[in-house]
Amino acid sequence: MRDQWGRNINYLRVSVTERCNLRCRYCMPHGVPLCTHSDTLRYEELLRICAAASAIGITRFKITGGEPLVRQDCADFLARLKALPGVEQVTLTTNGLLLPQYLDALAQAGVDAINISLDTLRPERYHQITGSDGRSVTRVLEALDACVERGIRTKINTVLLPETSDELALLASLAAARPVDVRFIELMPIGEGRKLTGISQDEALARLRIAWPDLHATSERRGNGPAQYYAANGLTGRIGLIGAVSHAFCSSCNRVRLTSTGTLKPCLCYGEGTDLRGLLRAGCTDEALTLALAGAVRGKPLAHCFNQHSGATERRAMFQIGG
Ligand code: SAM
Ligand code: SF4
């Protein structure tokens, strides 16, 4: 459906849990309080909301979190979501650590694409950024190759952090021999990200051009995201840049977000949202649910204001929102 500004909203990011097996320093610091299991929507509740979303024209869904694969039966949920009428595409965003365990089930469930988040290839930095054993880098790279071998469309997502600015070309070279896109995302002032300074898309591009002087923008759309893609000789996949802060792409925004506790968020930047869990648990009809969703989508704000920190009213952290 169209929002009040005429944009076609056809994409819902669905967080299935706040919990995570990593503690990325810009997302989920150690010791954060977590919501209770009863605050988290049950799969049946998530599916009811997704069915209502499909009824208003949302055809593409991203399963995210926290780490979605730490929630039991996530692949089964994915299969049930894919089977809903009107659902065309279900993709997953993961830190990759549990992929070896769940890739078969995800493939059987019909996952359409997988995004793997990986900010560094250096074990000691991986440990500093995620709090986890640096040897996990190898595990994540093996999972990436397993996805590619299965023919699953796979992307790497890398947040542009100052401490990894010297290895962007190395990370991008994951797209050299593999048909994988590597996307660099500006750090957003959400949660812990408010206290940190990332590096800009332009600086990243300048650094990447040292390794690939012929890097050139393409007009391809590769997935549902706002990335600007670049190609170069020697790259099988593409390099994507997401200037979430420096290059607002709100005029083409196609998405809304559902937190694992049932708030429908029309824009990442603002705290406002519609409490769908309250509605569901008060026994609302499918019609009332669909109306509430449609109202939230229609009222989506025109633009984020990440470049003026004071206007951003979202106080939840990224692991609570779903990224
Ligand atoms: N745990 C999964 C993962 O890491 O892919 C899914 C959830 S995570 C919140 C989704 C994405 O949000 C990850 O790629 C992560 O790097 C990104 N992210 C988290 N905090 C961010 C921030 N402040 N700015 C930009 N991206 C952020
Ligand atoms: Fe977990 Fe993903 Fe946040 Fe890292 S970015 S702490 S993996 S939810």
- State the average pLDDT over residues 281-301: 95
Task: Report pLDDT digits (tens) over 252-286.
Answer: 899 999 999 999 999 988 888 999 999 999 999 99
How many angstroms does the Cα of residue 85 sit away from the middle of ligand 1? Answer: 29
**pLDDT tens for residues 100-125?**
999 999 999 999 999 999 999 999 99
Task: Print the domain residue range for 232.
Answer: 11-321
In a domain, 316, yes or no: yes
In the predicted structure, residue 127 carries a pLDDT above the cut 70: yes
Judge whether 63 lies within some domain: yes
Pocket test for ligand 1, best of 97, 117, 158 (most atoms within 8 A of CB): 117
Q: pLDDT for 148-165, tens place per residue? A: 999 999 999 999 999 999
Give the tens place of pLDDT for each residue, 192-222. Answer: 898 999 999 999 999 999 999 999 999 888 8
Provide the 10 A C-beta neighbour count for residue 209: 15
Rounded CA separation 29/185 (Å): 20
Name the residue with the closest Cα to ligand 1, atom 26.
187
The C-alpha atoms of residue 170 and residue 176 are separated, in whole angstroms, by: 10
Count of the separate structural domains present in the chain: 1
How far is the first Cα of the chain from the last one, in angstroms, to the nearest whole number? 22
Label residue 310 by pLDDT band (50, 70, 90): low
CB distance 10 to ligand 1 below 6 Å: no
CATH at 200: 3.20.20.70
Whole-structure pTM value: 0.96
CA 116 to the chain's CA centroid = 9
Nearest CA to ligand 1 atom 1: 67
